[in-house]
Amino acid sequence: MATITFKINRFNPDDERRGHFMQKYQVEAKKGDTILDCLNRIKWKQDGSLTFRRSCRSGICGSCAMTIDGVNNLACEVQVMALKRDTITVEPLRGYTVIKDLVVSLDPLVKGMLKVKPYMITKTPPPTDQERLQSPEEREKLDGLYECILCGSCTSSCPSFWADKEYIGPHAFLKAYRFVADTRDEAPREHLEPLDDKHGLWRCHTIFNCVEACPKDLNPTKAISELKKALVNDKF
Ligand code: FES
């Protein structure tokens, strides 16, 4: 067991006078405890007003994304002891509007997703006796594209998003490429064309922050470069 100090960036919209401030909590943590376990302990035993999102506790739903010691990550996946620190700073994801404490508005994330039509578009009728098939090689091309859990970490880390809140965002570009690269999709242009916009692909300056920030080790920058090539070469 070890006593860890958590410095948590707090904000209550009903307390304008106080604004954003750091609050300290001491938590007893043992090997295997995650940041989320400790936040739950604070909420349940010390301060019920502390507000954060969580659901699956398994790195699947993306709800618990936050900034932990300056790095965007999933609170349910970061083990406290692995950080090897006596004091851990926890803040809301940067770039989004804070609603309360560690909860941010993910409206920009949703707006970006809707622009890229994040679903398969087909024009021909489906086969009557089987699903639309792919070869194993065609299916393999989607690895690294479909696993995004929409936690918002990548877009939160992106300077282009900090400068332009209408920026479509790396999460949405990755999703667009997931369908552009899918051999069963019959309208790649419909995913691509919304990206050819002043808030779109060309605002990416290949800084790679999104790659660093992704807790699922995905590579939105590579997807962005493939999408840029597809647009420039009018490949579709
Ligand atoms: S609680 Fe679902 S990803 Fe952390």
Q: What pLDDT was estimated at residue 204?
A: 96
Q: What pLDDT was estimated at residue 233?
A: 86
Residue list, ligand 1 pocket, CB within 6 Å: 54-57, 59-64, 74, 76
CA of 123 to the centre of ligand 1 (A): 36
**Each residue's pLDDT expressed in tens, for the chain with a length of 236 residues:** 899 999 999 999 999 889 999 999 999 999 999 999 999 999 999 999 999 999 999 999 999 999 999 999 999 999 999 999 999 999 999 999 999 999 999 999 999 999 999 999 999 999 999 999 999 999 999 999 999 999 999 999 999 999 999 999 999 999 999 999 999 999 999 999 999 999 999 999 999 999 999 999 999 999 999 999 999 987 66
What is the chain's Cα-based Rg? 20
Closest atom of ligand 1 to CA, residue 76? 4
CA of 11 to the centre of ligand 1 (A): 22
The rounded distance, in Å, linking the Cα atoms of 71 and 116 is 27
Q: What pLDDT was estimated at residue 236?
A: 61
Closest atom of ligand 1 to CA, residue 55? 1
Q: Which two tokens stand for residue 225?
A: 């470069």
Domains of the chain, first to last: 2-104 (3.10.20.30), 107-232 (1.10.1060.10)
Per the CB < 8 A criterion, the answer to whether 220 and 170 are in contact is yes
CA of 228 to the centre of ligand 1 (A): 32
Per the CB < 8 A criterion, the answer to whether 101 and 8 are in contact is yes
Q: What pLDDT was estimated at residue 235?
A: 61
The rounded distance, in Å, linking the Cα atoms of 164 and 145 is 25
Q: What pLDDT was estimated at residue 102?
A: 98
Backbone φ/ψ region at 33: left (φ over 0), alpha (ψ -120 to 50), beta: beta
Per the CB < 8 A criterion, the answer to whether 3 and 30 are in contact is no
Place of tokens 């552009």: 180
DSSP annotation of 79 reads: B
The rounded distance, in Å, linking the Cα atoms of 198 and 195 is 8
